[in-house]
């Protein structure tokens, strides 16, 4: 088994090189896209205090990560979402998340946490995808 770490140029450089945006393990390729948060290309926080904008940003970042390895949301098999405010997240989820899927969404896990790594982050989205690539 081989493992490849991938950091697409479309995404910010991983903070302090402590993680990879994507890890590809050979076999029937499984892609685990690390938690995407509301950061710009320089790794600066954006949309502070705005749950809806942070949700959309996380999904847009995940889209860029998928595209960076030639995948689409159709290849996604599971989404893990962490939020610091479940009620606020749920107020916005449907109107934003449905834009990224047809009527056939992947498995999903939604978890409320007391905080994320940076206290200004309200949501973090991790995506697992499987492909023959």
Which of 9, 37, 6 has the alpha carbon at shortest distance from 124?
37
The pLDDT of residue 1? 42
Domain count for the chain, please give it. Answer: 1
Note the helical H segments in the chain: 51-68, 86-97
Q: According to the model, what pLDDT value does residue 27 have?
A: 61
Structural domain for 28, as ranges: 3-130
pLDDT value of residue 18: 62
What does pTM read for this prediction?
A: 0.86
Report the CATH number at residue 85. Answer: 3.30.1330.40
pLDDT one digit per residue (tens) for the chain, 133 residues: 466 788 999 999 987 776 889 877 666 889 999 999 999 999 999 999 999 999 999 999 999 999 999 999 988 888 999 999 999 999 998 889 888 987 778 888 899 999 999 999 999 999 999 888 7
User: What is the rounded CA–CA span in Å between residue 114 and residue 133?
Assistant: 37
């Amino acid at each position: 088994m081989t493992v490849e770490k991938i950091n697409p140029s479309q995404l910010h450089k991983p903070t302090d090189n402590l993680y990879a945006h994507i890890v590809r393990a050979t076999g029937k390729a499984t892609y685990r896209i690390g938690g995407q948060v509301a950061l710009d290309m320089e790794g600066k926080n954006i949309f502070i205090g705005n749950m809806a904008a942070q949700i959309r940003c996380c999904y847009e970042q995940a889209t860029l990560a998928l595209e960076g390895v030639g995948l689409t949301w159709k290849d996604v098999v599971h989404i893990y979402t962490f939020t610091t405010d479940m009620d606020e997240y749920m107020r916005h989820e449907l109107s934003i998340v449905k834009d990224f899927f047809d009527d056939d969404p992947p498995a999903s896990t939604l978890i409320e946490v007391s905080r994320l790594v940076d206290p200004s982050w309200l949501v973090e989205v991790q995506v697992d995808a499987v492909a023959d690539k």
